[in-house]
């Protein structure tokens, strides 16, 4: 019987471990926020800056297939100290504090229009990799999707000559 004690102990530990893993999965599924129903986030790209310390530009498409309008209230990018929604019209750019997306509407965050500015990037973000974009809505719901990381300057021609200094944090 003593010969089987190590085997019994190993089987018992494996069973307890599997039980603990299932409990952790159950807790995670209960704690994890559900993606906002009816919304699709796609075509995510983050164009890294050509000059270290400058912000990156984030682009994506957001489709509201739901039956109610939703209000986008905030954005975040993994690997950026902060991210903001902006809109370029003509020669000027301004921050967007929120954005309503009506039922059936597709909103494109693209070069020369609405876009995300990602500031103070983690140096580990490199072309060819990915990071995550999270959109937060006024009701607290969230949706996340991957952003492909593009080489510095990739597609930034429409932003050339724009002054982003007012959006950079001032150091004291």
DSSP string, 83-111: EEEEEEETTEEEEES-EEE-TT-EEEE-T
Average pLDDT, the chain: 79
The whole-angstrom separation of Cα 159 and Cα 167 is: 14
Question: What confidence tens digit (pLDDT) does each residue in 58-98 have?
Answer: 999 999 999 999 999 999 999 999 999 999 998 899 999 99
Contact 143, 134 (CB under 8 A): yes
**CA separation for the pair 161, 158 (Å, rounded):** 9
Helices (H), the chain: 5-31
What pTM was estimated for this model as a whole?
0.69
Q: Are 40 and 65 in contact (CB under 8 A)?
A: yes
pLDDT tens digits along 14-49: 444 444 444 444 443 333 344 677 899 999 999 999
């Amino acid at each position: 019987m003593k010969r089987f004690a190590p085997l019994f102990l190993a089987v018992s530990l494996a069973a307890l471990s599997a039980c603990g893993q299932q409990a952790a999965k159950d807790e995670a599924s209960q704690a994890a926020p559900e993606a906002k129903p009816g919304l699709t986030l796609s075509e995510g790209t983050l164009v890294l800056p050509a000059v270290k310390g400058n912000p990156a530009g984030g682009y994506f498409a957001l489709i509201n297939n739901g039956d109610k309008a939703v209000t986008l209230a905030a954005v975040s990018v993994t690997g950026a100290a902060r991210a903001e929604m902006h809109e370029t019209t003509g020669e000027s750019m301004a921050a967007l504090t929120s954005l309503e997306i009506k039922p059936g509407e597709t909103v494109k965050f693209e070069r020369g229009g609405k876009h995300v500015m990602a500031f103070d990037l983690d140096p580990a973000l490199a072309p060819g990799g990915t990071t995550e974009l999270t959109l937060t809505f006024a009701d607290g719901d969230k949706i996340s999707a991957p952003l492909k990381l593009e080489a510095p300057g990739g597609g930034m021609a429409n932003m050339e000559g724009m002054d982003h200094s007012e959006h950079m944090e001032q150091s004291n």
